[in-house]
Amino acid sequence: MDEIDTKILKLTQDGIPFAPEPFNKIAEQLGITPQEVLAKFKEMQAKGIIRRFGASIGHRAIGITSNAMCTWNVPDERVEEVGAIMAGFPEVSHCYERPRYPDWPYNLFTMVHAYSHEECEKVAARIARATGIVEYSLLFSEREFKKTGARL
């Protein structure tokens, strides 16, 4: 990542304008052409510096009001296999392994988004059946205090 990449990300991470040529102003500020800005984005995408370029959805506003963090206690030797199965569920948007603590036994985390709590619970039950992991807990989000993208 070079200095221009960092500047481009800082200028666009909170969103591009909803105007016919949204990259013009950024290009002007950086002293390069809009085509160069776009080429930089494509390059950063190819390198994996940006995961995608697109819209972040306010899922609550459109009725996808239920969001459950499902946490699973998976035997360490099964983590790779079970993680792959969980990731295969379309309802699962994120799937991570994280450390355990003495009072926190769950090591696999999946985020499930759905139109209702009931639907989230059904998805979790299907995951449990598919993986044989029965020790799990669903943490529904009750309030959202902050949501921005990961920032530079």
Partner 1 sequence: MIKLDEIDKTILNTIQLDFPLVTKPYEALGKQIGISEDDVISRIKRLHRDGAIRRIAPIINTAKAGGTSTLVAMQVPTERVDEVVKIINAYTEVSHNYLRTAKYNIWFTASAPSVEYLDNMLAEIERKTGCPLINLPTKNLFKIGVKFDIK
Shortest Cβ 134–partner 1 spacing (Å): 18
Closest CA to 57 of 149, 151, 152: 149
Rounded to the nearest whole angstrom, what is the least distance from the CB of residue 125 to partner 1 in the complex? 18
Is the CB of 60 or the CB of 129 nearer to partner 1?
A: 60
**Measured on CA atoms in the order 86, 88, 93, 97, is the torsion positive or negative?**
positive
Token representation of residue 43: 């390059």
* Smallest gap from residue 25 Cβ to partner 1 (A): 12
Matching residue, tokens 């030797």: 77
Nearer to partner 1 (CB atom), residue 33 or residue 129: 33
Measured CA distances, 44 to 38, 39, 41 (Å): 10, 9, 5
Nearer to partner 1, 99 or 134 (CB): 99
Q: How far is the CB of 132 from partner 1 (least distance, A)?
A: 17
State phi, psi for 113 to the nearest 5 degrees: -115, 135
